[in-house]
């Protein structure tokens, strides 16, 4: 491949417009898989907001990122909390994914024990406020359920549902009206679901999961009934024409995705450490 062709491929000079997608990534909602799709589409124009190592990504952080990335077409992270208030970006396309709260919370604890070396018992972990009603907290920045509902209803362009991941992808392509490549490979699969299964089948643990995710349960039901299902009905005909490619096989990442990962790690993160301590 000639150098000029390689460069055009890397920076993705295609028909994608100058939109900016802000993806509020809630843990264990198939968000890592969706992030990989954004990486594959936007290459070095995709920002991993977690590289700042801060609980909330701010407008100041985004201004710095724009200097590093030349253009920012997509930004993803767990710390994209209440983007309208904290990022103040005009015309951005806000998206997120929700999941059944009890299952999501149990999966989150399982993932932390398997990949994060968490040593706390489930009872100790769930009592920590940061692990309760995580979806409401990330969307609104607090335990304000009403604020979270209003943000999803009036500011988010897509509220996907992880249990209906492919339908969520179809809606994403329709709503953004962009030639997105939707090919993906499911990422961060649990080595074993024994921990989650144990929590869900144990009455005491299940009661704790329900007790500490009551706000999330209300938000999930609202999003499903008032946002997602009406959107599926509205775009039912268009969704029939959106084809989801067969899931990618193998572990090797496409070039553009790899370039995004490396640029964020070896350029963006290093510049953050150098200039923004």
Domain residue limits, the chain:
3-275
Task: List residues bridging with 156 in a β-sheet.
Answer: 94
**Measured torsion, CA atoms of residues 134, 57, 277, 259, in degrees rounded to the nearest 10:** 100
User: What digits encode the pLDDT tens for the residues 198-210?
Assistant: 999 999 999 999 9
Instruction: Compute the average pLDDT of residues 52-58.
Output: 97
Q: Give the number of other Cβ atoms within 10 Å of residue 48's Cβ.
A: 20
> Is the confidence at residue 6, as pLDDT, over 60?
no
Query: How far are the Cα atoms of 17, 108, 204, 223, 232 from residue 238, in angstroms, in the given order?
Result: 21, 34, 45, 21, 10
Residue 276's pLDDT is 73
Asked if pLDDT for residue 7 goes beyond 60, the answer is no
User: Average pLDDT, whole number, for the chain?
Assistant: 91
Consecutive H or E run containing 22: strand 21-24
> What mean pLDDT comes out for the span 56-85?
96
If pLDDT is split at 50, 70 and 90, which confidence band does 2 have?
A: very low
- For 113-146, what is each residue's pLDDT tens digit? 998 889 999 999 999 999 999 999 999 999 999 9
- Cα separation, 85 vs 58, in Å, equals 9
Q: Is 214 helix (H, G, I), strand (E, B) or coil?
A: helix
Residue 156: its pLDDT value, please?
A: 98
Overall pTM > 0.95: no
The CA-atom distances, in angstroms, between 119 and each of 110, 115, 131 are: 11, 11, 15
CB atoms within 10 A of CB 146: 11
Structure tokens at 140: 């609104």
Please state the rounded mean pLDDT for residues 30-44. Answer: 95
Q: Are 25 and 76 in contact (CB under 8 A)?
A: yes
Q: Do the beta carbons of residue 155 and residue 87 sit within 8 Å?
A: no
| CATH number for the domain whose boundaries are 3-275 | 3.40.50
Judge whether residue 182 has pLDDT over 50.
yes
Residue 17: what pLDDT? 59
């Amino acid at each position: 491949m000639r150098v000029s062709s390689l460069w055009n491929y890397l920076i993705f000079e295609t028909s994608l417009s100058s939109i900016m997608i802000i993806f509020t990534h809630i843990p264990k909602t198939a968000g890592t898989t969706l992030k990989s799709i954004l990486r594959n589409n936007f290459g070095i124009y995709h920002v991993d907001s977690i590289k700042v190592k801060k609980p909330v990504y701010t407008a100041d952080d985004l201004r710095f990122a724009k200097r590093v990335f030349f253009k920012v077409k997509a930004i993803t992270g767990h710390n994209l909390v209440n983007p309208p208030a904290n990022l103040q970006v005009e015309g951005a396309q806000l998206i997120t994914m929700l999941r059944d709260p009890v299952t999501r919370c149990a999966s989150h604890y399982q993932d932390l024990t398997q990949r994060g070396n968490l040593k706390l018992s489930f009872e100790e972990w769930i009592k920590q406020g940061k692990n309760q009603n995580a979806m409401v907290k990330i969307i609104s920045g607090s335990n304000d359920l009403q604020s979270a509902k209003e943000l999803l209803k009036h500011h988010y362009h897509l509220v996907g549902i992880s249990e209906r991941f492919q339908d969520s992808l179809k809606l994403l392509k329709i709503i953004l009206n962009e030639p997105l490549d939707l090919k993906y490979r499911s990422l961060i699969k649990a080595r074993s679901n024994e921990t989650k299964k144990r929590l869900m089948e144990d009455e005491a643990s299940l009661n704790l999961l329900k007790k500490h995710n009551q706000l999330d349960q209300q938000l999930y039901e609202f999003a499903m009934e008032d946002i997602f299902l009406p959107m599926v009905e509205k775009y039912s005909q268009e969704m029939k024409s959106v084809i989801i490619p067969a899931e990618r096989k193998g572990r090797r990442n496409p070039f553009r995705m790899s370039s995004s990962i490396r640029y964020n790690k070896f350029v963006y993160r290093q510049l953050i450490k150098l200039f923004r301590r």
